[in-house]
Amino acid sequence: MNIITVSTQPFNDQKPGTSGLRKRVPVFQQRNYLENFVQSIFDSLDGYEGQTLVVGGDGRYYNRTAIQVILKMAAANGFGKVLVGQGGILSTPAASCVIRKYNAFGGIILSASHNPGGPDADFGIKYNIGNGGPAPEKVTDAIYDRTLTIEGYKIVEATDLDLDQLGTSTLGSMTVEVIDSVTDYAELMQSLFDFEAIKALLTSNDFKMCMDSLHAVTGPYAKTILEGMLSAPVGTVVNGVPLEDFGGGHPDPNLVYAHDLVELMFGDNAPAFGAASDGDGDRNMILGSNFFVTPSDSLAVIVANANLVKGCKGGIAGVARSMPTSEAVDRVAEKMGIDCYETPTGWKFFGNLMDAGKVTLCGEESFGTGSNHVREKDGLWAVFFWLNILAVRKQSVEEIVKEHWSIYGRNYYSRHDYEGVESDRADKLITELRAKLASLKGQKFGNYEVDYADDFSYTDPIDGSISQKQGVRIGFTDGSRIVFRLSGTGTSGATLRVYLESYEPDSSKQNLDPQVALGELINIADEIAQIKALTGFDVPTVIT
């Protein structure tokens, strides 16, 4: 089998974002575009010859085509073995699980997460290191540097492999093993949670749930575990067949895009529990009957109830949250006497803390929660964690959350997304906002006085690496916050995210609509950043 080197020229737009390289499918379909980036990954790594690589993706359009290219290039570059999910399917947390279980050198995950899929929609590729987590910035920076100088890539001349049949085959001297996509992940979940208690809950006459997989990757996982191992009624999992275009939907589990589930959970005779996951399975949304749990509150409740779950019975070392995530979990950690770390957005920042044994549980406000069982956020893990809590406490979702507020206080919290903002407008907004920071301290806006204003910088406590310009923060003397960030997960234009938070310790004032409770802060955010004037948007695209 011939190994050939194909001459190529660099592309200047292959800089990875917070979760790898994401572009529209037609961009990846350009001659040599995918190949350049894959070769740049391999050229940036040392010591992988003869080692094992894990490959899989969320099943979106172009997934299968890309995997065949990656397999042939891995063989040409000297990998000894590739583990690939059946049908090319591996959820992001499952890929992390497989990398860790089989001591693989690393993995390539094909996903654009919660972004739409289809021939004209989004595609993505990222590299995960041997701990199962996303490549740190020093690795992604090296990959990007290589993309700017690459002159050729290696690939074997071979026919495509059958990805649908379990078993092994060879590409040159490299072994390719097609593995069951679900088995390893399901076994891990069973080791972490009390499946007997959850099974009793799911088979009881007075409990009903709905799991919406949004025609994305978690469908097979949810069906196998919920309807199979846990004996939930058939039909508990809806939209459970992964489709290349996610059925024409937007695989983002929030109140806007998971509208069918939201309508069900806020309708008459709503199920007791509802959940959704995203395109690649690493995000989650949790709902009770006529009740939405914010991701920040979900993390805080999970930490406060960790002792009820088998995987955390020995106690938790500490917790971590991304900077824009609400400080609700900080209050739980303080009461528990454990450390709480504040990191930039991006799961890779949690990896060092987990590997060093500093944290057990972590989460982001962007519907991502997880633990040290893998090195990615994990949507189904969060669903099982909630089911385990419900099974033990025998209360409703709403009762559990409101009791939590009565103990710790409520952090009113909301995120306003302005999607598809013209990039120059978004950059101008952030640039002008940064220029104002030094003069904001002490200024009064209505009932609020600015206590601090900065651009978040993070020094990793494990390796000492520094990440700057991670989000503009404006803190007020009463503990309220406004945070502004430009997201790195989109493929066109820019997404401005505005995070608003206010703490309310008085239980008699904890039942307001968050948009009402945060109303004055919302107006202040626009006043300070001139959002409407500079973006051209009168209202946010998505409010969560």
- pLDDT, position 282: 95
For residues 210 and 264, is the Cβ–Cβ distance under 8 A?
A: yes
- Are residues 491 and 432 part of one domain? yes
At which of 124, 150, 180 does a domain end?
A: 180
Each residue's pLDDT tens digit, 266-296: 999 999 999 999 999 999 999 999 999 999 9
- Residue with the bigger pLDDT between 326 and 137: it is 326
- Are residues 315 and 294 part of one domain? yes
What is the span of the domain harbouring residue 415? 411-543
- In 3-state terms, the chain is what percent helix, strand and coil (to 5)? 35, 25, 40
- Are residues 354 and 253 part of one domain? yes
Please check the confidence at residue 29 and state whether its pLDDT lies above 60.
yes
- Are residues 290 and 264 part of one domain? yes
Q: What is the DSSP letter of 253?
A: -
- pLDDT, position 346: 82
SS3 of 381-396: HHHHHHHHHHHHHCCC
Taking alpha carbons only, the member of 108, 83, 274 closest to residue 183 is 83
- Looking at residues 515-536, what average pLDDT do you find? 96
Q: How many folded domains does the chain comprise?
A: 3
Of 111, 113, 181, 502, the active-site residue reads: 113
Please check the confidence at residue 489 and state whether its pLDDT lies above 70.
no
- Looking at residues 170-181, what average pLDDT do you find? 97
- pLDDT, position 18: 74
What residues contact 218, with CB distance under 8 A and at least 6 apart? 91, 277, 281, 379, 380
- Are residues 368 and 229 part of one domain? yes
Please check the confidence at residue 428 and state whether its pLDDT lies above 70.
yes
Please check the confidence at residue 1 and state whether its pLDDT lies above 80.
no
- Are residues 159 and 60 part of one domain? yes
- Are residues 249 and 123 part of one domain? no
Annotate 210-241 with DSSP letters as a single string: EEE-TTSTHHHHHIIIIIIIT-PPTTSEES-S
For residues 147 and 153, is the Cβ–Cβ distance under 8 A?
A: no
Model confidence band, residue 508 (pLDDT cutoffs 50, 70, 90): very high
> Residue 313: how many CB atoms within 10 A of its CB?
9
- Are residues 371 and 229 part of one domain? yes
Whole-number Å distance between alpha carbons of 356 and 335 = 23
Model confidence band, residue 3 (pLDDT cutoffs 50, 70, 90): very high
Reading phi first (left if > 0) and then psi (alpha if -120 to 50, else beta), residue 290 is in left
What mean pLDDT is reported for the chain?
95
Model confidence band, residue 492 (pLDDT cutoffs 50, 70, 90): low
Active site residue 96: no
At which of 360, 379, 408 does a domain end?
A: 408
- pLDDT, position 162: 97
Taking alpha carbons only, the member of 476, 477, 471, 527 closest to residue 499 is 471
Contacts 24+ apart (CB under 8 A), 226-229: 226/202, 229/186, 229/190, 229/195, 229/199
Please check the confidence at residue 365 and state whether its pLDDT lies above 60.
yes
Each residue's pLDDT tens digit, 293-326: 999 999 999 999 999 999 998 899 999 999 999 9
Whole-number Å distance between alpha carbons of 325 and 101 = 30
- Are residues 417 and 390 part of one domain? no
Model confidence band, residue 490 (pLDDT cutoffs 50, 70, 90): low
Model confidence band, residue 488 (pLDDT cutoffs 50, 70, 90): low
Each residue's pLDDT tens digit, 71-108: 999 999 999 999 999 999 999 999 999 999 999 999 99
- pLDDT, position 17: 84
